[in-house]
Amino acid sequence: MSRIKQCFSDLKSQRKKALIPFITAGDPQPGVTVGLMHAMVTAGADLLELGVPFSDPMADGPVIQAACERALRHHVTLHNVLDMVRDFRRDDIKTPVILMGYLNPIEAWGYAAFAQAAAAAGVDGVLTVDMPPEEAGEFTAAMNAAAIDTIFLLAPTSDDSRMQRVSEVASGFIYYVSFKGVTGANRLDVSSVATKLSELRHYTKLPVGVGFGIRDAETAGQVAGIADAVVVGSALVQQIAELAERPEVIPAALAVTIAELRAGIDKAV
């Protein structure tokens, strides 16, 4: 069983919902990331989403754009990100790690070669924001051949046929984008998300995670009431930005936030 599947299965038997923090790899500098990943797991994260820095993050708001720029100032490459995952795996063989980013760095590496390298490093899933299922045939085949789950997005604009199409090609879990917009905007409407998720459950047995707009324990709790996983990104990345000059305090500071989110989720379920 894949780590992602095992993780959701364990959580289900404990009647818990997953907390998935997102950070950009190498932000604010490469040395911070692995320690921060461990700190987040210790504080209550169930899966980790690691953003792969890209020069043109079209689906991201200003907070994650700035994180990409900070990481790219240190020339963090996709190869470096896999090194970080490999490093993380020395002390954690259980927590699933998902890479989230844009297609071009993977395209530049080559799908099959990247998939093998990522699997060897201990990556469990890949989410490429600008790769809809229509274009993903070769990509999903290469990832799945290396036992890497391909996580796809669904959005408020996705109609039934798109929900069905994504459900056919997705593995691991499905990531539902809570509103029309970019990461970090403040437009979460939990009741409309709930309606859409109940429609989506007709098409898939996979766990469904919800992201975009979840900024604190309260909104995390609300989303945990309707989804299998809660993804928190910009709120954490903003905290990293504020501490960029003092990188040594970032793991402890984010651990506090993760613990609050964890409590918010556990209270709501």
Binder of other proteins out of 24, 77, 219, 222 (CB under 8 A): 77
Q: Is 24 in the site for other proteins (CB under 8 A)?
A: no
Half-sphere exposure of 202 (CA within 13 A, CB side): 11
Binder of other proteins out of 106, 123, 197, 200 (CB under 8 A): 106
Q: Which of residues 161-180 bind other proteins (CB under 8 A)?
A: 162, 166, 177, 180
**Helices and strands counted in the chain (H then E):** 12, 9
Q: What angle do CA 198, 203, 208 make, to 5 degrees?
A: 60
In one letter, which amino acid is 240? I
Least distance from other proteins to the Cβ atom of residue 37, Å: 22
In one letter, which amino acid is 40? M
Q: Which of residues 44-63 bind other proteins (CB under 8 A)?
A: 54-62
In one letter, which amino acid is 217? A
Least distance from other proteins to the Cβ atom of residue 92, Å: 26
Cα–Cα distance, 204 to 176 (Å, whole number): 13
Q: Which of residues 122-141 bind other proteins (CB under 8 A)?
A: 129-132, 134-135
Least distance from other proteins to the Cβ atom of residue 224, Å: 22
Catalytic hit among 10, 27, 46, 60: 60
Nearer to other proteins, 16 or 215 (CB): 215
SS (H, E, C) 168-231: HHCCCCEEEECCCCCCCCCCCCHHHHHHHHHHHCCCCCCCEEEECCCCCHHHHHHHHCCCCEEE
Least distance from other proteins to the Cβ atom of residue 55, Å: 4
Q: Is 103 in the site for other proteins (CB under 8 A)?
A: yes
Least distance from other proteins to the Cβ atom of residue 4, Å: 20
Number of residues that bind other proteins (CB under 8 A): 44
Binder of other proteins out of 91, 108, 198, 269 (CB under 8 A): 108
Q: Compute, in degrees rounded to 10, the torsion defined by CA atoms 6, 136, 129, 215.
A: -30
Q: How far is CA 178 from CA 228, 233, 241, in A?
A: 14, 13, 24
Q: What is the CA radius of gyration of the chain?
A: 17
Nearer to other proteins, 7 or 127 (CB): 127
171 in Cβ contact with 150 (< 8 Å): yes
Cα–Cα distance, 230 to 220 (Å, whole number): 6
Q: Is 98 in the site for other proteins (CB under 8 A)?
A: no
92 among known catalytic residues = no
Q: Is 30 in the site for other proteins (CB under 8 A)?
A: no
242 among known catalytic residues = no
Q: Which of residues 215-234 bind other proteins (CB under 8 A)?
A: none
- DSSP E strand boundaries for the chain: 18-24, 48-51, 97-101, 125-128, 149-150, 152-154, 174-177, 208-211, 229-232
Q: Is 35 in the site for other proteins (CB under 8 A)?
A: no
Q: Is 10 in the site for other proteins (CB under 8 A)?
A: no
Q: What residues act catalytically?
A: 49, 60
**Can you give the binding site for other proteins, defined by CB under 8 A?**
54-62, 65, 69, 72, 77-79, 102-109, 129-132, 134-135, 152-159, 162, 166, 177, 180-182, 185
